[in-house]
Chains A and B, each alone.
Chain A
Amino acid sequence: MSSSNLKFFNSLIMAVAPGGDNLEGLDFQQLTSYLSDKIGIPVKLKYCKDYNEAMTMLSDGTAQIGWLGAYAYQKLESDNSPVVAFAVGVPKGKNVPFYRSKFIVRSDSNIQILEDVRNKTIALGDVYSTSGYEVPRRELLEVGINLQNEGSFKAIINVANHDEAIRSVIEGTADVAPVSSINLELMIANRTINTKDFRIIHQSPNIPGAPLVYLRNLEPNLKEQIKSLVLDAHNHIDVSGYGGHMDRYVDPVESHREYIESYLRPQWTWRTIIGILAFIVIYTLIAIDLEVDIAQLLSDSFLYMKDILGRMWPPDFSNFSHLMLAMLETVEIAMLGTLLAITLSIPIGLLSARNIAPNYPIYLIARTITVFFRAIPEFIMAMILVIAIGFGAMPGVIALGFHTMGFLAKFYAESIEHVNEEPMKAIESMGASKWQVIAFSVVPQVIPSFIGNNLYILDRNIRMATMLGIVGAGGIGYELQSSFRMFEYPRVSAIIIVIFLTIFVIDMLSSYIRSKVL
């Protein structure tokens, strides 16, 4: 090997911090002898009594290579750290250098979620253990349990390592224990424990495995040499590290990039894309089935359209006052129909809201009623009513009222189902009755959409009422029908203009009301 590497050293020292829990797995002997062999100078192992001793040896340059345990990453995050991570082990059977802290309970335990561990007996590793203490501490904090406060638990059992923690849960001395996924999987693999005996109630985010480090200011060639030897070592020797046998060592930066990239997903999921494609296909098929031919529509129909429009011009307003009276009747039918619809919809809407309906059968009946009246067009209803109660405004009012009741009740029910339930609970907890709860928390919340929906239905009913006359249910529709029958197209256009202007005025009016009330 090139002598420049050896300019300062006739041997290298690797300082190893205690693994905390799995010392037997911390076997760097093979790796160091492999390095000695390849670099050509002895690489000696120095097991330190704690993290600080290892860090001191590296800081003062006594050691050049090191394994600092899981705390290393935290220390390495600052740029002025004397050491840099250069390799991290991928445990056997894994493809990422990460592990997790998993909270385990016995299979028959009543603990379901992390919150449930409060006031239970917990087995904990020592405070320097990452997956046995530090990470669990953060996870518990997230659900409001303070690990450092003994009062949070019935008892805390201190265990020496993860294997002991796992055993204490399975044997029943502890209710719950946060343990390293590496140890857990090892114990499952060598059948020390049975997966049927325990459950995992919670797991932490991925914890990066402890890296191998070297001095930042080590000679660049030597750094490069050590790094490439370690990253290639698995091809020549059995590599070990924290948690036992390693599959291989990988570059921490590289592996972190791969890890982050493993979380990449397309912004548009295949479901969305399939949805869009299905939409296009269905509508294309519909267009084909209905023989929609835009070219023909434009050419042929254009000529006929021109003809009929020509005959409609100029509009004939000779019986203007008669028209206005018919229009007024139409508006009246619509207003009365809407009032009928609102009156009917309030109870039915309440009963068909899932959160208000007293029970499921009533909910179902109310829903069925709304669907039924929505399903019968007001034209059909009006035709039947005209036969039953004769010509005039009433069949129109009743037809509109019942048909739009189906809509309004559905709208009301939907907005009631979307109210914020928290104020409801609050008022309920003050001792209010069911109807008081509705009056004081549901009603104020749905008022804006109530008004909005009613205005929409009124607007719609005026438009529909103009047509109801065609089946003899009163209003301007009758005039329209008879003018058509007599081929009085100028009158037809006059009626259309009156209808348009009326609806325009109503629309302006309802926008005005909306802006004032909502």
Chain B
Amino acid sequence: MILEIKGLRKTFDDGTKALQGVDLSVKLGEFVVILGSSGSGKTTLLRSINGLVNPEAGEIKFFDRVISSATLPDLRKETGMVFQDFNLVNNLSSLNNVLTGLLDSSNSFMSMLYLFSREQKIQALKCLEMVGLLDKAYSRVDKLSGGQKQRVGIARAIIKNPTLLLADEPVASLDPMISGSIMTLLRNIGHKIGLTVICNLHQVDIALKYSDRIVGLSGGRIVLDAPTKDLDEEYIRKIYQGHGSGLFFNEDDTKASSR
């Protein structure tokens, strides 16, 4: 098990109960989708894993080591994160954005002058090639399209060769067709370099199409945890009946809700 989460709880200062006892184990190399509407606690869960949120109860084990403030730096070296709004530095080139993924292992003086070693640059170029953006290595990222920006985001997340990739709604800001190409990329990279991917989504159709396993979250509790091949839309719809608002079952739902 790469990740073992037991009894995770988190209540925010305003009284929101984001997580109410979550247990989850993730196997090495799995592509897990955490499915839930906004407010289901999936972002809190993902952020607890890399220490951006401090849970009040429960423990998270990463390769049998309990995550604490002491072990967090090691964990962060092993994880990459992809964000909904890309979180790139807009007026830097794609290459420099990807290189920011290596800052923790760079000479701090040289990196302040934007100087990176030849090996680091080659590594960054390889990552850009992997996401199909080698030709855009020296373009400023604000000149790229949304899908291309997310590709740079993925390249930045994988450059330090993480074992775990956390993706928080990676396609929520993209249109359905580009979403598909980004999800395919995430899955292919996952398989290619043996990466474990935990991906938050609120679109059921995308989850069914790209994941190995779906963990459904609702009101801070796990309501579903099964291999994707055993699931279909009807079943998920049934599970979420009663508390399933905000989930998009397919593209038509997306259109209907935006009307």
Taking beta carbons and an 8 Å cutoff, which residues of A are in contact with B?
A: 77-78, 138, 141-144, 146, 205-206, 260-261, 263-265, 267-268
> Taking the nearest CB of chain B, how far is it from the CB of A322, in angstroms?
54
> Taking the nearest CB of chain A, how far is it from the CB of B3, in angstroms?
24
> Taking the nearest CB of chain A, how far is it from the CB of B140, in angstroms?
14
> Are B114 and A268 within 8 A (Cβ)?
yes
A260-B122, A260-B125 known; A146 vs B134 contact (CB < 8 Å): no
Determine the residue in chain B with the shortest Cβ distance to A138: B181
Residues of A near B181 (CB, < 8 A) are 138, 141-142
Task: Tell me which of A78, A143, A146, A260 contacts B191 (CB under 8 A).
Answer: A78
A141 to B183 Cα, complex, angstroms: 13
> Are B118 and A264 within 8 A (Cβ)?
yes
> Taking the nearest CB of chain A, how far is it from the CB of B39, in angstroms?
27
Determine the residue in chain A with the shortest Cβ distance to B133: A205
> Taking the nearest CB of chain A, how far is it from the CB of B179, in angstroms?
10
Residues of B near A144 (CB, < 8 A) are 175, 177-178
Residues of B near A146 (CB, < 8 A) are 177
> Are A261 and B122 within 8 A (Cβ)?
yes
| Chain A CB within 8 A of B43 CB | no
A78-B191, A267-B115, A268-B114 known; A141 vs B177 contact (CB < 8 Å): yes
A263 to B134 Cα, complex, angstroms: 8
A143 to B122 Cα, complex, angstroms: 28
Residues of B near A267 (CB, < 8 A) are 114-116, 121
Residues of A near B177 (CB, < 8 A) are 141, 144, 146
Since A141-B181, A260-B126, A265-B138 are in contact, a sample of 13 more A-B pairs with Cβ atoms closer than 8 Å, ordered by chain A residue number, is A78-B191, A138-B132, A141-B178, A142-B148, A143-B145, A144-B178, A205-B132, A205-B133, A263-B125, A263-B134, A263-B137, A264-B122, A267-B114
Residues of A near B126 (CB, < 8 A) are 260
| Chain A CB within 8 A of B259 CB | no
9 A-B residue pairings within 8 Å (CB atoms): A78-B191, A141-B178, A142-B147, A143-B145, A144-B175, A144-B177, A146-B177, A261-B122, A264-B118
Q: Could you give, for residues 129-151 of chain B, a 1 whenever the CB lies within 8 Å of some chain A CB and a 0 otherwise?
A: 10011110110000001011000
> Taking the nearest CB of chain A, how far is it from the CB of B124, in angstroms?
10
Kindly list the 6 A-B residue pairs having the minimum CB-CB distance in the complex, ordered from nearest. A205-B135, A260-B125, A263-B125, A267-B114, A141-B181, A267-B115
Task: Tell me which of A77, A141, A263, A265 contacts B192 (CB under 8 A).
Answer: A77
> Taking the nearest CB of chain A, how far is it from the CB of B103, in angstroms?
14
> Are B115 and A264 within 8 A (Cβ)?
no
| Chain A CB within 8 A of B246 CB | no
Residues of B near A77 (CB, < 8 A) are 192
> Taking the nearest CB of chain A, how far is it from the CB of B143, in angstroms?
14
A78 to B115 Cα, complex, angstroms: 34
> Taking the nearest CB of chain B, how far is it from the CB of A340, in angstroms?
38
A432 to B129 Cα, complex, angstroms: 47
A260 to B116 Cα, complex, angstroms: 16
Residues of B near A261 (CB, < 8 A) are 122
> Taking the nearest CB of chain A, how far is it from the CB of B208, in angstroms?
19
> Are A260 and B129 within 8 A (Cβ)?
yes
A78-B191, A205-B134, A206-B134 known; A142 vs B145 contact (CB < 8 Å): yes
Residues of A near B191 (CB, < 8 A) are 78
> Taking the nearest CB of chain A, how far is it from the CB of B177, in angstroms?
6
Determine the residue in chain B with the shortest Cβ distance to A272: B114
> Taking the nearest CB of chain B, how far is it from the CB of A256, in angstroms?
9
Determine the residue in chain B with the shortest Cβ distance to A74: B188
| Chain A CB within 8 A of B162 CB | no
| Chain A CB within 8 A of B180 CB | yes
> Taking the nearest CB of chain A, how far is it from the CB of B257, in angstroms?
20
Which chain B residues (169-207) contact chain A, with CB distance < 8 Å? 175, 177-178, 180-181, 191-192
Residues of B near A138 (CB, < 8 A) are 132, 181
> Taking the nearest CB of chain B, how far is it from the CB of A133, in angstroms?
15
Determine the residue in chain B with the shortest Cβ distance to A137: B181
A138 to B121 Cα, complex, angstroms: 26
A509 to B250 Cα, complex, angstroms: 58
Residues of A near B122 (CB, < 8 A) are 260-261, 264
A142 to B121 Cα, complex, angstroms: 26
Residues of B near A78 (CB, < 8 A) are 191-192
> Taking the nearest CB of chain B, how far is it from the CB of A200, in angstroms?
14
Residues of A near B125 (CB, < 8 A) are 260, 263-264
Residues of A near B178 (CB, < 8 A) are 141-142, 144
Residues of A near B129 (CB, < 8 A) are 260
A409 to B170 Cα, complex, angstroms: 43
> Are A264 and B147 within 8 A (Cβ)?
no
> Taking the nearest CB of chain A, how far is it from the CB of B154, in angstroms?
15
Residues of A near B134 (CB, < 8 A) are 205-206, 260, 263
A365 to B180 Cα, complex, angstroms: 53
The residue among A141, A143, A260 with the most chain B CB atoms within 10 A of its own CB is: A260
> Taking the nearest CB of chain B, how far is it from the CB of A8, in angstroms?
32
Task: Tell me which of B121, B132, B133, B192 contacts A264 (CB under 8 A).
Answer: B121
> Are B180 and A141 within 8 A (Cβ)?
yes
A513 to B121 Cα, complex, angstroms: 46
Determine the residue in chain A with the shortest Cβ distance to B147: A142
The residue among B125, B133, B191 with the most chain A CB atoms within 10 A of its own CB is: B125
A77 to B116 Cα, complex, angstroms: 29
A267 to B192 Cα, complex, angstroms: 30
> Taking the nearest CB of chain A, how far is it from the CB of B186, in angstroms?
15
> Taking the nearest CB of chain A, how far is it from the CB of B110, in angstroms?
10
Residues of B near A264 (CB, < 8 A) are 118, 121-122, 125
> Taking the nearest CB of chain A, how far is it from the CB of B188, in angstroms?
8
Residues of A near B180 (CB, < 8 A) are 141
Determine the residue in chain A with the shortest Cβ distance to B121: A264
The residue among A78, A138, A142, A268 with the most chain B CB atoms within 10 A of its own CB is: A142
> Taking the nearest CB of chain B, how far is it from the CB of A267, in angstroms?
5
A144 to B176 Cα, complex, angstroms: 9
Determine the residue in chain B with the shortest Cβ distance to A143: B145
Residues of A near B138 (CB, < 8 A) are 265
A260 to B135 Cα, complex, angstroms: 11
